[in-house]
């Protein structure tokens, strides 16, 4: 809650109050947001729901990702990484709002003298699946989140957003395995095919393939080095697509 309260951005949910009640119990008050998350929308699209497909064109979905990524870029500028970017945590409000939710496992880094103490992967997995949403959160973890002792920085969020982009484009996750161990191996070792090859019937532009695959490179140094750089490429694609239409 403290982290969320510090992130005052149009694409994060405002925290109005943070404190202790008369009994000394911590509380926080946030804006109530109604809507549905991106995962629910993607499920309906994959099921062929025509109304949802018409309502959420590829261009609109890319716009949603740009807004969610803007919240990440802002958080990164404040030294905060989310560490749990996934479709379930991207909320679309009833009036077009887009919010990046659930900063519960976020981490502040870069503070002088602050030790790098990450939550162990198995414990993190248990925390991420305890809410009963979808036992697939590890699908969006970066290789460095899985490797013990590896420093996690903003490029972890870039990787996770790249996986979300892959799912938006190909209508499937790139690293899903038969179990969590196979999923982790895939994240660390598997080079997924471009979304355009996975979903040839969707005619995905190669420019989006390149953006997506760059974001999910195994080595953090090979990815986009900032969220704003990835946002810039997605914006450029949308502008060029609009001009050519």
Pairing of the two strands 90-93 and 35-37: antiparallel
Rounded to 5°, the CA angle 183-206-242 comes to 120
- Rounded to whole angstroms, how far apart are CA atoms 130 and 160? 20
Q: Which of 21, 84, 153, 209 is catalytic?
A: 84
- Rounded to whole angstroms, how far apart are CA atoms 205 and 208? 6
Query: Helices 154-170 & 58-77, crossing angle to 10 degrees?
Result: 170
84 is catalytic: yes
- Rounded to whole angstroms, how far apart are CA atoms 60 and 45? 13
Neighbouring C-alpha atoms within 13 Å toward the C-beta of 31: 17
Beta strands, E only, the chain: 15-20, 26-30, 35-37, 80-81, 90-93, 98-100, 107-108
Q: What is the dihedral of CA 74, 106, 108, 220, to 10 degrees?
A: -80
Cβ-proximal residues to 73 (8 Å cutoff; 6+ apart), any chain: 226, 227, 228, 231
Catalytic positions, please? Answer: 84
């Amino acid at each position: 809650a403290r982290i969320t309260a510090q992130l005052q951005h149009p694409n994060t949910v405002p925290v109005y109050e943070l404190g202790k009640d008369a009994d000394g119990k911590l509380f926080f008050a946030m804006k109530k947001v109604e809507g549905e998350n991106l995962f629910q929308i993607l499920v309906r699209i994959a099921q062929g729901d025509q109304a949802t497909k018409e309502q959420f064109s590829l261009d609109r979905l890319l716009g949603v990702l740009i807004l969610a990524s803007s919240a990440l870029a802002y958080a990164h500028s404040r030294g905060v990484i989310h560490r749990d970017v996934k479709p379930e945590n991207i909320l679309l409000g009833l009036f077009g709002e887009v919010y990046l939710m659930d900063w519960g496992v976020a981490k502040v880094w870069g503070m002088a003298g602050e030790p790098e103490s990450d939550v162990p992967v198995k414990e993190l997995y248990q925390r991420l699946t305890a809410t009963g949403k979808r036992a697939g959160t590890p699908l969006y973890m970066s290789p460095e989140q899985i490797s013990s002792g590896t420093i996690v920085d903003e490029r972890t969020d870039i990787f996770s957003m790249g996986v979300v982009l892959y799912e938006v484009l190909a209508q499937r996750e790139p690293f899903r395995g038969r179990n969590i161990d196979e999923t982790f191996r895939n994240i660390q070792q598997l080079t997924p095919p471009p979304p355009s090859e996975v979903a040839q019937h969707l005619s995905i532009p190669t420019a989006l393939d390149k953006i997506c695959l760059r974001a999910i490179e195994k080595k953090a140094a090979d990815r986009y080095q900032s969220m704003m750089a990835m946002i810039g490429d997605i914006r450029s694609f949308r502008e060029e697509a609009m001009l050519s239409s």
